[in-house]
Amino acid sequence: MTSMSLAKALNAGLRNTLDTDSKTLIMGEDVGRLGGVFRVTDGLQKDFGEHRVIDTPLAESGIIGTAIGLAMRGYRPICEIQFDGFVYPAYDQIVSQLAKIHYRSQGQVKLPVVIRIPYGGGIGAVEHHSESPEAYFVHTAGLKVVTCSNPADGYTMIQQAVASDDPVIFFEPKRRYWEKGEVPDDVPAADWYPLHAARVVRPGTDATLVGYGPMVRTLLESAEAATEDGRDLEVIDLRTLSPLDLEAVYASVERTGRLIVVHEAPGTLGMGAEIAARVTERCFYSLEAPVLRVTGYDTPYPPSRLEDDYLPDLDRVLDAVDRSFGF
């Protein structure tokens, strides 16, 4: 166990993948000499060379499109998209090509490509630097979508994503990059928590809070605060968005009877909508209240002076908890 930030944990995980598999490549804008704008790839080019850690031209579609060709040639590219809002120029290559080629080829072409995307708000950034585009990718068959919320998961999940034979969109909560935690760098990979499994990160009995990525810490803080009202809230970190692992959520709702789903992305047709529908289908008779959502609004991500109003926070989460108990 070593204590380190999420950014460092991801760096350590990436370093392991480069070390253990000579076919892995890191490619993206400024990932080499600069080490990425968030320094997640810091020092990797120096240690593994320009042929393994590739500073690409500034063109997102090109990053993904050439990664597809490299994967066809037997490589395992790990692409970095510098910021969430810049993934859209690559959208066609991701959803029309990367996601579909395995299906089109009837399994004869595997594309083990990982796309790392720092996402979400809360760092006072300018436009296009704070978005949560996960639903677009979850909606696309052929892609797997995961997101980590802490350094331990960052370290293991990035290595599991690279080992996957499917394309994986790997969302990194940028406002949590600098938060530290214990990283199990001495645990063998066989004992790591599975990549495509949600996890109960705080057991509780009265209501269930579900979130992922940057929201998990907010949910834990909310649950802690709720104890002052005598409420014991369970918190689930989804971790995997496609496949969406709801077994832990179903089990939790059957015990607590209440569910609040929280995410930064706009609410309409977001992850919360899917989870609410699925939980209602499965756990209808266990629910004491409708499934509630706390999400970003259906607006573009606002100027940073307004992001505290936009982003779900402890108060909005606890307000939803109150509403749930009001039914």
Catalytic: 102?
Answer: no
Q: Please say whether the beta carbons of 236 and 201 come within 8 A.
A: yes
Among the listed residues 109, 165, 96, the one whose alpha carbon sits nearest the alpha carbon of residue 137: 96
Phi-psi category of residue 4: left, alpha or beta, with phi > 0 → left and psi -120 to 50 → alpha: beta
Min separation Cβ 65 and other proteins, Å? 2
Min separation Cβ 221 and other proteins, Å? 30
Q: What are phi and psi of 22, to 5 degrees?
A: -70, -10
**C-beta of 190 vs 326, nearer to other proteins:** 190
Using CB under 8 A as the binding rule, the residues of this chain from 148 to 207 that contact other proteins are 164-166, 196
Task: Pick one of 1, 20, 34, 104: the residue that binds other proteins (CB under 8 A).
Answer: 104
Min separation Cβ 97 and other proteins, Å? 6
Instruction: Please give the DSSP secondary-structure letter assigned to residue 187.
Output: S
Task: Pick one of 200, 244, 273, 314: the residue that binds other proteins (CB under 8 A).
Answer: 244
49 scored as a contact of other proteins (CB under 8 A): no
Instruction: Please give the DSSP secondary-structure letter assigned to residue 228.
Output: G
**C-beta of 98 vs 233, nearer to other proteins:** 98
Q: Please say whether the beta carbons of 27 and 14 come within 8 A.
A: no
Neighbours of 211 (CB within 10 A): 28
Q: Which two tokens stand for residue 26?
A: 């890191």
Task: Pick one of 61, 280, 286, 304: the residue that binds other proteins (CB under 8 A).
Answer: 61
74 scored as a contact of other proteins (CB under 8 A): yes
Taking each helix axis from N to C end, the angle separating 271-283 and 247-256, rounded to the nearest 10 degrees, works out to: 60
Say which of 51, 102, 129, 263 is annotated catalytic: 129
Residues in touch with other proteins (CB under 8 A): 25, 51, 56-57, 59, 61-62, 64-75, 89, 92-93, 96-97, 100-110, 112, 141-142, 144, 164-166, 196, 242-245
